[in-house]
Structures are given as C-alpha cells and as structure tokens.
Amino acid sequence: AQTVTQSQPEMSVQEAETVTLSCTYDTSESDYYLFWYKQPPSRQMILVIRQEAYKQQNATENRFSVNFQKAAKSFSLKISDSQLGDAAMYFCAYRSTGNQFYFGTGTSLTVIP
C-alpha cells in the first residue's frame, strides 16, 4: 500500500510570511494524483491544491503552491502571505489508480498575528 509521510507535526508562521509544509510518499505507480487538504476546527475537509503526477509543472492556487519532485517522491506545500484563516491541520494525500486516498499524519499550522 502507498504511504504518505508528513514529518512536521506542528508548524507556525508569522502573519503575512511564507511557510512550507513537507510531504513525502512511497509508491510503485507511475500515474497518480497528490493533494493537500485543510481541516479547520469544524473538521470539514477542504481541498487546497492538487497535482497530477504526469504534469511537470507545479500546481498553483492563489497563495498556495507546491514543489513536486517526482523522482524524490516529494510534494511540499508553500503558503505565501499567510493569513489567520490559514490556521488548521493540513493533510497531504495520495490518490491511487484505484481511486483510494491515503493521507499523511497531518501538520498543525499556527498563524501568529
């Protein structure tokens, strides 16, 4: 089975600054999707950004961007101009060819005013 590893249980960032959350994964598949989800205290999972493995270009969504290194099996999330509303748990996820999702252990992000 695929494994997803987030090595940073907690991170903090000053408001308006930039923070990078790390994620690595292990797979033998060549075609897959990677995701970052945000889970605020409400527990509702919210899609932040996704990356298709066959695309070399890193995905970007407004203040959120990824650094996808396929050979290294690394998929980090960069949050620019951090806002108080960005505070949440962030989960990295892998979607297999069978459409199953596997999640990392999460990174709790604190935004300091």
Q: Which residues bind other proteins (CB under 8 A)?
A: 1, 42-45, 47, 50, 91, 95, 98-106
Q: Minimum Å distance from CB 63 to other proteins? A: 19
Q: Minimum Å distance from CB 16 to other proteins? A: 28
Instruction: Say how far apart CA 54 and CA 51 lie, in whole Å.
Output: 9
Instruction: Say how far apart CA 106 and CA 29 lie, in whole Å.
Output: 23
Q: Which CB, 38 or 111, lies closer to other proteins?
A: 38
Q: Which CB, 9 or 85, lies closer to other proteins?
A: 9
1 secondary structure, DSSP code: -
Over the range 43-72, which residues count as b (16 or more CB within 10 Å of their CB) and which as e? Answer: eeeeebbebebeeeeebeeeebbbebeeee
Q: Minimum Å distance from CB 95 to other proteins? A: 7
Q: Minimum Å distance from CB 81 to other proteins? A: 24
Instruction: Say how far apart CA 10 and CA 71 lie, in whole Å.
Output: 26
Q: Which CB, 57 or 113, lies closer to other proteins?
A: 57
Q: Which CB, 42 or 56, lies closer to other proteins?
A: 42
Tokens at 27, concatenated: 């797979």
